[in-house]
């Protein structure tokens, strides 16, 4: 009896030690991942003089809010840019997910003729591009100039890679689902929106995060297609602020250069732009993890 208790105690102790070791490794890995973010926040709160003398540090000599004062000095302009980015991200992501899901359902439907040819057509667009000039001419001909749709439709609205992710996930679903729905009189639109897309929530949440990040971080469309300042997204506005600061730093006046918070402003803009995405990720995390193993388990 005592021998059985000793073996149980040793097994329980080894299990606790193994669990403790795993927790320590995970904790260290989490700290390593958090370090760049923490350092960015601290540097954004440091004084420019401290950065110049000692470089980036977790324990700066002096703290300062000059960088945030400079950014928030834009006032109404910054709020307008944030509202534009939020609107573009929400509407663009919703449209992109719906379009991607419908295209993926079409390619996953074995009853669709020439679906392999369509898949090849989408695949070619991942490898080759017509170039910047034809893209710009097409956007202007379609009226995507100086309006909110110029920030939504070009480039980000449909991504073939995301479409193939969703299609692979749909291929792992039993084909009997579609056949049974056909026998019950359902059409493809109803099958897609009431059967397939609800079952594809993990992968749809994954591409939703991809699209949201792409829209939120986009500034290229604003540079190429928007000249109305009321339509500037936050990324483009902060890029302008950074460019103006860099231009001031190049002026050969030592007193002026010393007062311009160049490095801290860069970090402040990072903090202001990553906030919404950091807040969005926890809501999609459990679906995002499932989406990473798309197609590895059928049924």
**105-156: pLDDT as tens digits:** 989 888 888 888 888 888 888 888 778 888 889 889 988 888 999 999 987 7
61 in a structural domain: no
For residues 6 and 114, state if they share a domain: no
For residues 25 and 78, state if they share a domain: no
Number of domains in the chain: 2
For residues 33 and 81, state if they share a domain: no
pLDDT at residue 84, as a whole number = 92
Residue spans of the chain under pLDDT 50: 9, 255, 295-299
Kindly report the CATH number assigned to the domain that includes residue 73: 1.10.3720.10
For residues 190 and 286, state if they share a domain: yes
54 in a structural domain: no
For residues 10 and 148, state if they share a domain: no
Q: Which of 160, 192, 168 is nearest to 96 (CA)?
A: 160
For residues 18 and 135, state if they share a domain: no
Crossing angle of helices 160-171 and 115-127, rounded to 10°: 140
For residues 38 and 70, state if they share a domain: no
82 in a structural domain: yes
187 in a structural domain: yes
d(CA 132, CA 128): 12
For residues 206 and 265, state if they share a domain: yes
For residues 39 and 144, state if they share a domain: no
> Could you give the count of Cα atoms lying within 13 Å of 14 in the half-sphere of its Cβ?
6
For residues 106 and 203, state if they share a domain: yes
Q: Between the CA atoms of 122, 126, 127 and 133, what dihedral angle is there, to the nearest 10 degrees?
A: 100
59 in a structural domain: no
For residues 223 and 179, state if they share a domain: yes
180 in a structural domain: yes
**Do the beta carbons of residue 152 and residue 88 sit within 8 Å?**
yes
Q: What is the pTM of this model?
A: 0.78
245 in a structural domain: yes
pLDDT at residue 244, as a whole number = 76
Q: Which of 197, 193, 270 is nearest to 238 (CA)?
A: 270
14 in a structural domain: yes
pLDDT at residue 296, as a whole number = 42
For residues 71 and 210, state if they share a domain: yes
Q: Which domain holds residue 281?
A: 66-291
């Amino acid at each position: 009896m005592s021998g059985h208790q000793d073996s149980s105690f040793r097994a329980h102790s080894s299990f606790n030690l193994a669990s403790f070791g795993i927790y320590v490794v995970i904790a260290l890995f989490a700290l390593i991942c958090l370090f760049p973010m923490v350092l960015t926040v601290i540097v954004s709160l440091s004084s420019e003089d401290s950065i110049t003398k000692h470089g980036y540090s977790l324990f700066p000599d002096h703290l300062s809010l000059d960088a945030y004062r400079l950014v928030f000095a834009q006032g109404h302009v910054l709020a307008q840019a944030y509202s534009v980015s939020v609107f573009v991200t929400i509407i663009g992501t919703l449209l992109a997910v719906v379009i991607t899901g419908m295209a993926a359902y079409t390619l996953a439907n074995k009853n669709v003729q020439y679906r392999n040819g369509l898949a090849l057509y989408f695949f070619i667009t991942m490898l080759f591009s017509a170039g910047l000039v034809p893209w710009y001419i097409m956007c202007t001909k379609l009226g995507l100039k100086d309006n909110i749709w110029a920030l939504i439709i070009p480039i980000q609205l449909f991504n073939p890679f995301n479409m193939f992710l969703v299609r692979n996930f749909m291929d792992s679903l039993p084909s009997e689902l579609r056949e049974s729905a056909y026998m019950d009189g359902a059409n493809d639109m109803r099958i897609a929106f009431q059967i397939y897309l609800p079952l594809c929530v993990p992968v749809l949440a994954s591409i939703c995060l991809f699209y949201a990040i792409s829209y939120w971080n986009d500034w290229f469309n604003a540079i190429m297609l928007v000249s109305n300042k009321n339509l500037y997204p936050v990324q483009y506005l902060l890029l302008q602020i950074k460019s103006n600061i860099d231009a001031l730093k190049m002026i050969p006046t030592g007193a002026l250069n010393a007062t311009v918070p160049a490095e801290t402003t860069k970090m402040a803009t990072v903090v202001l732009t990553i906030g919404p995405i950091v807040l969005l990720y926890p809501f999609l995390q459990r679906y995002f993890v499932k989406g990473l193993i798309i197609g590895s388990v059928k049924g």
